[in-house]
Amino acid sequence: MKKLILLLSVVSSIQLAAQHVPTFEEQISLRSVGGAQLSPDGKTIAYTVQSTDWNDNRYDTEIWLARENEKPFQLTNYAKNGSSVPLFSPDGKWISFLSDRGNKTQIYVIRVDGGEAKLVTKEEEGISFYEWHPDGKRFVFVKQDEDDKSRKDREKRYGAYEADDKEFTLSHIWQINFNPDQPDPSERPCYETVDSLKIKTGCIQWPKASRITEGKFTVTGFSVSPDGTKIAFTHQPDPLINSSLKSDISIVDIATRKITSVVSNPSSDSFEDWSPDGKEILYTTNLSDTLSNYYLNSKLFALTLDTKATRQLAKNLDEDLGGLVWKPNGIFSSLWNKTKRPLHRIDPVTGDYTTLGNLPEQVFGLSFTRDGKTAAFTGRNGNQLTEVFLGATGGQPSQITDMTRQIKDWKLAQSEVISWKSKDGAIIEGILHKPANYDPSKKYPLLVMIHGGPTGIDTPTPVPGGVYPVLQWLDKGCLVLRPNYRGSAGYGEAFRSLNVKNLGVGDMWDVMSGIDYLDKKGMIDKTKMGCMGWSQGGYISAFLTTNTSTFKAISVGAGISNWVTYYVSTDIHPFTRQYLKATPWSDEAIYKKTSPMTNINNAKTPTLIQHGEFDRRVPISNAYELLQGLRDKNVPAELIVYKGFGHGISKPKERLAANWHNWQWFNKYVWDEKVAMPLADKK
């Protein structure tokens, strides 16, 4: 037995030696799949693959095809821009997609059996989103209205200015015919010379789109009825983000253009899908709740169109509902359940639901055959990257892609779901990542990485990170804890409500009690700890900066430092009013209790601040306020502003820079190492 144990140890050591820690560039260059769409006959899947274009500093998305009994292959390849949103024509002969090929985002089609992509639309405003009409002879799409000419005239005379929340462009529904045999007008000259004169002859005109809706509202989602005569759509008064609280549902008759309001509650209503027979619609709603819909569950209803009768479905499904698909064999949706995302089937008559088995731990992006018996989707288990799957509904699916092969030679994060009791007794779960050669007899430095949201969620994954070099830190010899603090998705409505009027404070309890849990198990060295997070995770990190002295280093990414500063400048004012249950003018105390700046005089922890220059969600004033407060207290602090970015870092080179900035900061203050940021590629 001793010889066997020794042999297994040697084999394990050899396997580890054959693996390597990826560079930051390798990790950022990982390809990923999404947007799986299944053909009507269930034999072909179109899906997107995102790759990294370092030369142009962008992420490129192209469409791939997987046919029955064939190896997947790339369908589109446009060097200057990507292609996305693939959809099969009703007869399965064409794949449509959106792409900007120098003329704004337009609809293109390409035959399933290959060939050149054909341009379908030529709309000056570009296409926002679209779908095939069930007859396969036209497209229905949403685009913005033309720019207001008076605004341009005003700018010529008075220069550029705008009235806040009053200058916007509405979006409406249009349709355009699709003739697969029509030649491209650009391929046939429109002029012939006759007696030195240019005379138009034999011209081919682009198809003209016809407008279906108009009015003082903007369309945010739609679907054509199964019989092709009507369109159900979600609309709100204007495109401003806070106006989603006033969204309603209407139906337009395509032939007459008559619009009928069908769901109009005081709070947000959102169309989900038509019933297979077209006699009912499915929708989610917050009914009259405009004060807590950010964290309470939406409700699901079916509406019978001829009687106007409604019935609530899935009453006992305790999670925020959405992304539902109605097929003849049931209503389907995947929803978070702790760190898993199972697929549910809801009975449209009784409203009861069942959870389907034989699936990956996490299921996303469902696409079905018409009868609902076969589905394509993306999903993964905790030790995988996201893959494309295909299978009978409720059966054992086949894995179509092998994106996880990209990391087969990497040293990966070992993930474990742990739980502990917070200060107030709430049970908190988190993901604990260990290095590949973890030794339970040692105490490790600990880094805490906090997700955003607050209704985000962390789950087991072999490659965590984003702008944080987790794999590299694990190899350096540490543990990484990613807590699903109160407010996280997947744990039900009551759990999401626990940080109402308790933001920061309760979150700090959850983080610090997680650290205490690991300390009692003898796993961590509390003299070497760091904390980081982005958005809401950045806010919690800032709160820990000014309310604890536990950490050697903290990184605040796009975080709130002062709820008053945030409230008056963010683009989502209702968020603060709902979670704090007040404005700064009605309850100043709650804003002070939950703001990191309130206890800035207690700050001692070296803090890196990372922020996008044009962030509207968490305006950069929050970063400058925290920076100046820390500097006034002589706390080591540095602000990195990522030029041209909003709330996230969406380009590879700046994401690379952000990884290096965090690597330098934590290595300096946790490991006492000075690291230079390389300015030239390695030869």
For residue range 109-128, what is the model confidence (pLDDT) as tens digits?
999 987 889 999 999 999 99
Alpha carbons 576 and 566: distance in angstroms, whole number? 8
To which residue do tokens 């390798």 refer?
Answer: 26
If asked whether residues 445 and 508 sit together in one domain, one would say yes
Sheet bearing 398-399, strands edge to edge:
362-368, 374-380, 387-392, 398-399
Residue 540 reports pLDDT greater than 90: yes
Sequence-distant (≥ 6) Cβ neighbours of residue 628 within 8 angstroms: none
Strand extents, DSSP E, 168-266: 171-177, 191-194, 197-200, 210-211, 218-224, 230-236, 248-253, 259-263
> pLDDT-based confidence at 155, cuts 50/70/90?
confident
As a whole number, mean pLDDT of residues 386-393 equals 95
As a whole number, mean pLDDT of residues 306-313 equals 96
If asked whether residues 458 and 420 sit together in one domain, one would say yes
Asked whether residue 502 is domain-assigned, the answer is: yes
Alpha carbons 271 and 322: distance in angstroms, whole number? 10
Sequence-distant (≥ 6) Cβ neighbours of residue 59 within 8 angstroms: 50, 51, 52, 53, 82, 650, 651, 652
Among the candidates 395, 424, 443, a domain finishes at 395
**Does the predicted TM-score (pTM) go above 0.75?**
yes
If asked whether residues 492 and 375 sit together in one domain, one would say no
Find out whether 84 and 75 touch, Cβ atoms under 8 Å.
no
Q: Packing angle between helix 470-477 and helix 652-670, nearest 10 degrees?
A: 30
Alpha carbons 556 and 327: distance in angstroms, whole number? 45
Asked whether residue 380 is domain-assigned, the answer is: yes
Which CATH number covers residue 437? 3.40.50.1820
Element of type H or E holding 638 = strand 637-642
Beta bridge partners of 345: 332, 354
Asked whether residue 559 is domain-assigned, the answer is: yes
Asked whether residue 151 is domain-assigned, the answer is: no
CA atoms within 13 A on the CB side of 123: 31
Among the candidates 395, 425, 449, a domain finishes at 395
Find out whether 485 and 540 touch, Cβ atoms under 8 Å.
yes
pLDDT tens-digit map of 585-628: 999 999 999 999 999 999 999 999 999 999 999 999 999 999 99
Sequence-distant (≥ 6) Cβ neighbours of residue 135 within 8 angstroms: 90, 228
Residue 152 reports pLDDT greater than 90: no
The reported pLDDT for the residue numbered 626 is 98
The reported pLDDT for the residue numbered 682 is 55
The reported pLDDT for the residue numbered 196 is 62
The reported pLDDT for the residue numbered 4 is 39
Nearest to 584 by CA among 601, 569, 599: 569
Query: b/e string for 221-245 if b means 16 or more Cβ within 10 A?
Result: ebbbbeebebbbbbbbebbeeebbb
Asked whether residue 152 is domain-assigned, the answer is: no
Nearest to 344 by CA among 317, 378, 381, 372: 317
Residue 578 reports pLDDT greater than 80: yes
If asked whether residues 331 and 388 sit together in one domain, one would say yes
Asked whether residue 448 is domain-assigned, the answer is: yes
If asked whether residues 446 and 369 sit together in one domain, one would say no
As a whole number, mean pLDDT of residues 360-381 equals 95
Alpha carbons 539 and 365: distance in angstroms, whole number? 30
State the amino acid at position 627 in one-letter form: L
Among the candidates 363, 395, 427, a domain finishes at 395
Range with lowest mean pLDDT among 304-308, 391-395, 451-455: 391-395
- More confidently predicted of 157 and 564: 564
Residue 13 reports pLDDT greater than 60: no
Number of domains present in the structure of the chain: 2
Range with lowest mean pLDDT among 22-26, 464-468, 678-682: 678-682
> pLDDT-based confidence at 164, cuts 50/70/90?
confident
If asked whether residues 419 and 369 sit together in one domain, one would say no
Alpha carbons 501 and 499: distance in angstroms, whole number? 6
Residue 8 reports pLDDT greater than 60: no
Alpha carbons 340 and 351: distance in angstroms, whole number? 23
If asked whether residues 640 and 666 sit together in one domain, one would say yes
pLDDT tens-digit map of 656-677: 999 999 999 999 999 999 999 9
CA atoms within 13 A on the CB side of 628: 6
Find out whether 538 and 577 touch, Cβ atoms under 8 Å.
no
pLDDT tens-digit map of 267-298: 999 999 999 999 999 999 999 999 999 999 99
If asked whether residues 433 and 552 sit together in one domain, one would say yes
The reported pLDDT for the residue numbered 194 is 61
Nearest to 545 by CA among 557, 420, 577: 557
Beta bridge partners of 387: 379
If asked whether residues 427 and 456 sit together in one domain, one would say yes
Alpha carbons 492 and 427: distance in angstroms, whole number? 12
Find out whether 283 and 303 touch, Cβ atoms under 8 Å.
yes
The reported pLDDT for the residue numbered 181 is 79
If asked whether residues 414 and 371 sit together in one domain, one would say no
pLDDT tens-digit map of 438-488: 999 999 999 999 999 999 999 999 999 899 999 999 999 999 999 999 999
- More confidently predicted of 646 and 157: 646
If asked whether residues 526 and 620 sit together in one domain, one would say yes
Asked whether residue 22 is domain-assigned, the answer is: no
Alpha carbons 628 and 650: distance in angstroms, whole number? 27
Asked whether residue 517 is domain-assigned, the answer is: yes
Beta bridge partners of 143: 172
Calculate the average pLDDT of the chain.
92
pLDDT tens-digit map of 78-103: 888 899 999 999 999 999 999 999 88
Share of the chain above pLDDT 90, in %: 85
Q: Which domain holds residue 379?
A: 323-395
To which residue do tokens 């008056």 refer?
Answer: 568
If asked whether residues 388 and 421 sit together in one domain, one would say no
